[in-house]
């Protein structure tokens, strides 16, 4: 089988097909990066209200639910009440009046920020599609059916369709790569080369986010949002309010002094004892909670 699949490639194929395709791909990527930077310009700094609405407000509620046991009960209750009231009244919304009853839904096309984001996405998609179509047409016209390289490791037959695009030979070994497949390998494999030449944040490689986004969907939109429709943050805030309200609280530092003494084998003086069925609570030593409450009361009196 190995002798029947042995083929010798002309060195001219390496010099006039293999290397030129790779050089053209690198040069087109560098040119695409600079054109994209000229078209899009410097990225606009997002507004503070938009940042708070999109991620920061929900992140506060999630942090309170996850690590709220590290703060005392009164601090947890204060934060819970504040966040519940803020989510209910829409304090973190970019436009609180847009979600009131009787108000007409906002038109996405009237929002300049959303229109600008859609235009940026369309420009990036255009800069990704046009060079790919030109290079693919150039390869199909001049190098259609060429075998350019043989991989030095074996592969399963499932890779045949991917590595031998444009070559209709059923019995050829899967390790041979066609010119069109060599183009796709360079298209998705030159990301490290572009990062070395242009830096990490470059627009030379294939933007998978722009290619995978559906038409009409904003870049960075949540998966549950309908294409072309803005995300309803008011519903998200109301859902987060319910999650915060039902979150229980158990202080992790409750009786931490006694637990620390028990850990190192020290005797702990019990402050509570049961006589018959009646619970007697004598004068007990001040704990961390008492000290925190005393400090807060002293601070409120000074104010």
Domain match, 204 and 288 both: no
**Beta-carbon count within 10 A of 257 CB:** 12
Residues 19 and 118 in one domain: yes
Q: Is residue 36 located within the same domain as residue 120?
A: yes
Nearest to residue 270, comparing CAs of 253, 260, 285? 285
Tens digit of pLDDT for each residue in 255-271?
888 888 888 888 766 55
For residue 132, being part of any structural domain is answered with: yes
Within this chain, do residues 150 and 216 fall inside the same structural domain, yes or no?
yes
Spell out the residues 6+ positions from residue 138 whose beta carbon is closer than 8 angstroms to its own.
24
Q: Which domain holds residue 156?
A: 11-45+108-220
pLDDT at position 45, please? 67
Per-residue model confidence (pLDDT) at position 138: 93
Is 269 part of any domain? yes
CA–CA dist 136, 180 (Å, integer): 7
Lowest mean pLDDT among 84-98, 119-133, 161-175, 232-246: 84-98
Bridge partners (DSSP) of residue 204 are none
Q: Residue 19 above 90 pLDDT?
A: yes
Both 114 and 184 in one domain: the answer is: yes
| Same domain (yes/no): 272, 213 | no
Q: Any idea what the Cα angle at residue 119 is, between residues 116 and 125, rounded to 5°? A: 145
**Residue 213 confidence (pLDDT) above 50:** no
The gap between the terminal CA atoms of the chain, to the nearest Å, is 91
pLDDT for 109 equals 62
Which of 220, 243, 274 lies at the terminal end of a domain, its last residue?
220
The answer to whether the beta carbons of residues 82 and 101 sit under 8 Å apart is no
Inside any domain, residue 267? yes
CB atoms within 10 A of CB 36: 20
Specify if 115 maps to a domain.
yes
Q: Report the distance separating Cα 189 and Cα 192, nearest Å.
A: 7
pLDDT at 211 over 60: no
If asked whether residues 151 and 196 sit together in one domain, one would say yes
Tally of domains in the chain: 2
Which among 205, 220, 235 is the end of a domain? 220
The rounded distance, in Å, linking the Cα atoms of 258 and 272 is 13
More reliable by pLDDT, 11 or 169: 11
Q: Which of 137-146, 180-189, 264-273 has the lowest mean pLDDT?
A: 264-273
Is 16 contained in some domain?
Answer: yes
Beta carbons within 8 Å of 91's beta carbon, 6+ residues apart: 85
Query: pLDDT at residue 68 above 70?
Result: yes
> Is 271 found in the same domain as 125?
no
263 and 212 in one domain? no
Task: Examine the domain organization and report whether 289 and 140 are in the same domain.
Answer: no
Q: Quick one: 112 exposed, middle or buried, by C-beta within 10 A (0-12, 13-18, 19+)?
A: exposed
The per-residue pLDDT for range 225-254, each reduced to its tens digit, is 444 456 778 888 888 889 999 999 888 888
In this prediction, residue 87 carries a pLDDT of 87
Does residue 244 belong to any structural domain of this protein? no
Q: Quick one: pLDDT at residue 123?
A: 83
Q: Give 104-110 contacts, CB < 8 A, sequence gap 24+.
A: 106/230, 108/228, 108/229, 108/230
* pLDDT the model gives residue 94: 75
Nearest to 249 by CA among 10, 81, 15: 81
CA 239 to chain centre: 21
Inside any domain, residue 90: no
Residue 114 sits in the same domain as residue 158: yes
22-26, 86-90, 275-279: the lowest-pLDDT one: 275-279
Residue 96 sits at the vertex; the CA angle it makes with 91 and 99, to the nearest 5 degrees, is: 125
Residue that terminates a domain, selected from 220, 244, 266:
220
DSSP state, residue 200: S
* Other beta carbons within 10 Å of 176: 20
Task: Give pLDDT, residue 111.
Answer: 64
Output the CA torsion sign for 150, 151, 156, 159.
negative
127 & 194 share domain:
yes
Whether the CB-CB separation of 251 and 68 falls below 8 Å is answered with no
- Tell me: pLDDT of 34 over 80: yes
In a domain, 148, yes or no: yes
216 band by pLDDT with thresholds 50, 70 and 90 = very low
């Amino acid at each position: 089988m190995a002798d029947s699949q042995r083929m010798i490639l002309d060195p001219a194929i390496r010099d006039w097909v293999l290397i030129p395709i790779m050089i053209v791909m690198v040069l087109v990527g560098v040119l695409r990066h600079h054109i994209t930077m000229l078209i899009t310009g410097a990225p606009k700094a997002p507004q503070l209200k938009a940042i708070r609405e999109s991620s920061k407000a929900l992140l506060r509620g999630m942090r309170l639910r996850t690590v709220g046991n590290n703060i005392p009960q009164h601090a947890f209750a204060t934060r819970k009440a504040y966040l519940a009231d803020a989510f209910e009244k829409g304090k973190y919304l970019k436009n609180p009046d847009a979600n009131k009853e009787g108000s007409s839904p906002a038109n996405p096309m009237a929002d300049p920020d959303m229109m600008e984001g859609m235009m940026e996405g369309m420009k990036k998609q255009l800069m990704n599609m046009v060079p790919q179509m030109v290079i693919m047409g150039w390869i199909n016209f001049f190098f259609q059916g060429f075998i350019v390289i043989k991989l030095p490791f074996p592969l399963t037959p499932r890779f045949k369709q991917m590595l031998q695009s444009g070559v209709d030979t059923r019995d050829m070994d899967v390790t041979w790569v066609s010119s069109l497949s060599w183009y796709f390998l360079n298209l998705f494999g030159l990301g490290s080369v572009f990062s070395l030449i242009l830096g990490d944040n470059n627009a030379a490689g294939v933007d998978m986010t722009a290619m995978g986004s559906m038409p009409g969907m904003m870049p960075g939109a949540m998966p549950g949002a309908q294409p072309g429709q803005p995300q309803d943050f008011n519903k998200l805030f109301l859902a987060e309010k319910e999650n915060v309200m039902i979150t229980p609280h158990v202080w992790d530092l409750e009786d931490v002094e006694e637990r620390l003494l028990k850990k190192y084998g020290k005797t702990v003086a019990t402050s509570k004892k049961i006589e018959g069925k009646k619970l007697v609570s004598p004068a007990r030593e001040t704990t961390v909670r008492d000290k925190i409450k005393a400090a807060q009361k002293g601070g409120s009196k000074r104010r």
